[in-house]
Structure 1
């Protein structure tokens, strides 16, 4: 087993394990096959963790590849909207084969080749541009890629330069970059903004801090319009991302309810939506009705 918890069949055989021992370990539920010749301890893993293990195995099997697109985004910690992680995305000079590989024949400038945690990947800026131009989620997917990239320190100037070259999807990506904002803190908020932009709604303030009449901090909004209407995306992270160890998920829900009540007491109209509302396109009609009631529209 290497330092990442991967068992490579060839290495195991070299140090004295037999093929039968490995097969029996799989049958007993001790190991599971990740890819041909690649095993890992049987455990519950997130799709992201599994994808990263496959990426490491791909680099070991094909040392000349560079991880790119959705896979490079995983390595950079770049959240995307509905990424396809069924295959490891790589840039190759020569054709490579692999059940879980998605190969791209692209020219990668030297300045956009980096190594992170031992993995060769495209730079943060090129990763965001590639993801934005190839996303299946259109403008919303491109906006999410650029919001996330700006939030973790990507250079907007470098990304604009990368978008000067004509390529499929570049038009949508250029528009998304000009409207991108690092204050969108997760893909749900980016998707919400994309729907607002497409609906022609007034641009909200992002992450505005509200205080009561005594100057005490009430809370920070995801979106607000003139301090009259607040829009809140209710993602799972709102309730668990900021747990301090002593607080339970139920405590976090109660904390959020108290925050909501204090905003309402301050005379602010609060409208909330979740991922299902974005999927079904229910968010915009609800938001339009609330903005109209609040005199914003």
Structure 2
């Protein structure tokens, strides 16, 4: 049956990263790695095979558990987060399939922990993974920010819970899928950015490519440390 990222695509999830161009299949046989097909050795009970489609595919909880076990956090966290946000699974649906002794279990449990229904795009989920990888803590997703006088500025993709640091993750869809059109969305984003700066925030605007540039996250970490030092100093 189709499994892993191939199954996630069949379940209509959108991966942030694929990592492999091969079709992924699970079956009760030794693993095989062909030019276009990767076969995992899995013996699955009938209840973990979906009957929703015209071809056999692992159920969504089993699919997400498999991805968490065998793929990087950058692949698994966005997929799990999408399913959580849509209300199609809860965390226990996945973790109960991560049995002790399973290879990759520790990483898989971390993937579930890092995932959140609050992430509004796969890129935001990847950003959360990068925060973890670079030791950045305290970044809260989807926070409404106001000035000291109480005037609403906007909702940030991520804002630090203590330091005046905000991170916005800009994908193409953020502008071109806006109901008001890309020009109006860009104008609104620019105004929010200026309002945040005027309110004393350090703002990082990240493209998808920036998520893979270590210096960006080093700068975010420094900004948080500097802001916290100013508060305590």
Q: TM-score range by the shorter chain?
A: 0.7 to 0.9
Task: Select 1:129's aligned residue among 65, 83, 86.
Answer: 65
1:250 aligns with 2:183: yes
8 Å CA contact retained: 2:15, 2:122: yes
* CA offsets 1:125-145 (integer angstroms, 9 cap, x no match): 11111111111xx34334334
8 Å CA contact retained: 2:29, 2:42: no
Bigger Rg, which one: 1
Is there any run of 5+ residues in structure 2 with no aligned partner, and where? none
1:295 aligns with 2:231: no
8 Å CA contact retained: 1:197, 1:203: no
1:263 aligns with 2:196: yes
* CA offsets 1:222-258 (integer angstroms, 9 cap, x no match): 11113622111122222123x22xx432332222112
Alpha-carbon offset, residue 99 of structure 1: 6.6
Give the count of matched residue pairs: 227
Give the CA RMSD over aligned residues.
2.9
Partner of 2:219: 286
8 Å CA contact retained: 2:146, 2:154: yes
Q: Give the Cα separation in 2 of the matches to 1:168 and 1:80.
A: 22
8 Å CA contact retained: 1:79, 1:186: no
Q: Give the Cα separation in 1 of the matches to 2:109 and 2:28.
A: 28
Is there any run of 5+ residues in structure 1 with no aligned partner, and where? 1-65
Partner of 1:202: 137
Alpha-carbon offset, residue 213 of structure 1: 6.6
Q: In 2 relative to 1, CA 288–94 (structure 1 residues): closer, same or farther, beyond 3 Å?
A: closer
Partner of 2:83: 149
Q: Give the Cα separation in 1 of the matches to 2:185 and 2:4.
A: 35
Q: Give the Cα separation in 1 of the matches to 2:57 and 2:119.
A: 25
8 Å CA contact retained: 1:80, 1:148: no
Alpha-carbon offset, residue 215 of structure 1: 5.8
8 Å CA contact retained: 1:183, 1:206: yes
